[in-house]
């Protein structure tokens, strides 16, 4: 009787991760160099100029009164993110057809990078009257983690409304970006798909490099989520039924983040583990750069 043979491939299908950190790093202002120049830095301070002096016209009384400008201190702290340790037993290093150690290390590095990027985005978010926009489109199913019910879709009008606020803030027109989750992105694309003559409208560039109204559109798997009261949800939070997804319109010079290198540690023949352990950590933080929050316009899902 013939014996049936089975074949195990010598490679493993890796877990999938959104390359969010690379996308965020390109759109935001990076303060990471100050982490290393200061040594042991846990807080980054960003001095903000106070209100400028008023201009007088037709003054005839001298000397004029003198005043001082009171500057502000805007700052954010770095926090440690850690992953692992993950054990890989000696039997798994010898008996498997694929390299499990390399796969676990990839999980640690990619997972930590993704979480760091989510933390950086959350730090840019704010909920300030007159400085955010609510979506106005057709009813769509809510897609924030834990959300139920319907929300209004993201439309080109919503982006225009956010740009109008940014223009009134005298924010530079260059280096503007919209970081938007994939669901809201396709809502926007659907809104742009046909004009009044039912002719397809194609934004400039390909997916991932789309330019619309001078804004670089950056689609990501998940961006920012907030409660119905406008409080940001921490990355990894299960969320609630009333939560809302948020897109961020950003001007690079109005953003800030700092991040250390990712430190990976491999303990070969870890005592008591009968194998090796793998762990990684990083220090990261971020915040809107200006204390007046100019240059960052959250576009928040409204209830349908």
Residue 55 has pLDDT above 60, yes or no: yes
pLDDT of residue 39: 65
Residue 156 has pLDDT above 50, yes or no: yes
Largest CA distance in the chain: 113
Residue 221 has pLDDT above 90, yes or no: yes
* CB contact burial 14-37 (16+ within 10 A = b; e otherwise): eeeebebbebbeebbbbbbeebee
Q: At what angle do helices 20-27 and 100-124 cross, to 10 degrees?
A: 40
Between 200 and 104, residue with greater pLDDT? 104
CA distances from 253 to 90, 171, 172 (A): 50, 9, 8
Among the residue ranges 43-52, 86-95, 213-222, 240-249, the one predicted with the least confidence is: 86-95
pLDDT bucket at 197, cuts 50 / 70 / 90: low
- Rounded to an integer, what is the distance from CA 69 to the centroid of its chain? 34
Q: Are 169 and 251 in contact (CB under 8 A)?
A: no
Write the CB contacts of 150 (distance below 8 Å, at least 6 apart in sequence).
139, 140, 141, 142, 303, 304
Residue 141 has pLDDT above 60, yes or no: yes
Residue 60 has pLDDT above 60, yes or no: yes
Name the percent of the chain lying above pLDDT 70: 93
Q: How far apart are CA 10 and CA 98, in angstroms?
A: 4
Q: Which of 7-16, 55-64, 135-144 has the highest mean pLDDT?
A: 135-144
Between 8 and 228, residue with greater pLDDT? 228
pLDDT digit string, tens, across residues 7-43? 777 777 787 888 889 888 889 999 998 887 666 788 9
Name the percent of the chain lying above pLDDT 90: 62
Classify strands 244-251 and 296-300 as parallel, antiparallel or unpaired: antiparallel
Residue 198 has pLDDT above 80, yes or no: no
Q: Which of 256, 235, 259, 258 is nearest to 246 (CA)?
A: 235
Mean pLDDT of 76-88: 91
209 φ/ψ angles, rounded to the nearest 5 degrees: -135, 40
Q: The tokens of 205 are what?
A: 């560039």
C-alpha count within 13 angstroms, C-beta hemisphere, residue 252: 16
Mean pLDDT of the chain, nearest integer: 89
Length of the chain as a residue count: 304
- Rounded to an integer, what is the distance from CA 292 to the centroid of its chain? 20
Q: Are 154 and 184 in contact (CB under 8 A)?
A: yes
pLDDT bucket at 206, cuts 50 / 70 / 90: very low
Residue 199 has pLDDT above 60, yes or no: no
Looking at the chain, which runs of residues are DSSP E strands? 43-48, 72-77, 79-89, 133-134, 139-141, 150-152, 176-181, 210-212, 215-220, 224-226, 244-251, 255-259, 263-270, 275-288, 296-300
Mean pLDDT of 123-130: 98
Among the residue ranges 68-82, 114-128, 209-223, 283-297, the one predicted with the least confidence is: 209-223
Q: The tokens of 301 are what?
A: 């899902």
Mean pLDDT of 197-226: 74
Mean pLDDT of 140-147: 96
């Amino acid at each position: 009787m013939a014996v049936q043979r089975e074949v195990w491939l010598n490679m493993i299908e890796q877990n999938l991760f959104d390359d969010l950190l690379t996308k965020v790093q390109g759109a935001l202002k990076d303060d990471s160099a100050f982490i290393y120049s200061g040594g042991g830095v846990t807080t980054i301070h960003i001095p903000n100029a106070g209100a400028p002096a008023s201009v007088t016209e037709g003054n005839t009384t001298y000397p004029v009164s003198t005043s001082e400008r009171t500057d502000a201190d805007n700052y954010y702290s770095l926090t440690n993110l850690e992953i692992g340790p993950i054990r890989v037993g000696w039997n798994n290093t010898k008996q498997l057809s694929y390299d499990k150690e390399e796969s676990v290390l990839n999980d640690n590095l990619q997972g930590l990078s993704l979480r760091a990027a989510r933390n950086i985005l959350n730090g840019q978010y704010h909920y300030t009257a007159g400085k955010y926009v609510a979506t106005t489109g057709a009813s769509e199913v809510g897609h924030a983690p834990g959300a139920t019910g319907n929300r209004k879709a993201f439309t080109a009008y919503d982006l225009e409304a956010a740009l109008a606020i940014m223009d009134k803030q005298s924010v530079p027109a260059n280096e503007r970006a919209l970081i938007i989750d994939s669901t809201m992105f396709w809502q926007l694309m659907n809104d742009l798909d046909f004009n009044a003559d039912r002719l397809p409208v194609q934004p400039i560039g390909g997916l991932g490099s789309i330019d619309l109204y001078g804004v670089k559109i950056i689609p990501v798997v998940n961006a920012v989520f907030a409660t119905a009261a406008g409080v940001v949800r921490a990355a990894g939070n299960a969320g609630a039924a009333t939560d809302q997804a948020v897109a961020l319109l950003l001007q690079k010079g109005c953003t800030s983040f700092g991040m250390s290198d990712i430190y990976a540690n491999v303990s070969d023949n870890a005592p008591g583990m009968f194998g090796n352990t793998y762990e990684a950590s990083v220090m990261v933080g971020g915040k809107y750069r200006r204390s007046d929050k100019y240059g960052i316009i959250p576009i928040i899902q409204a209830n349908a």
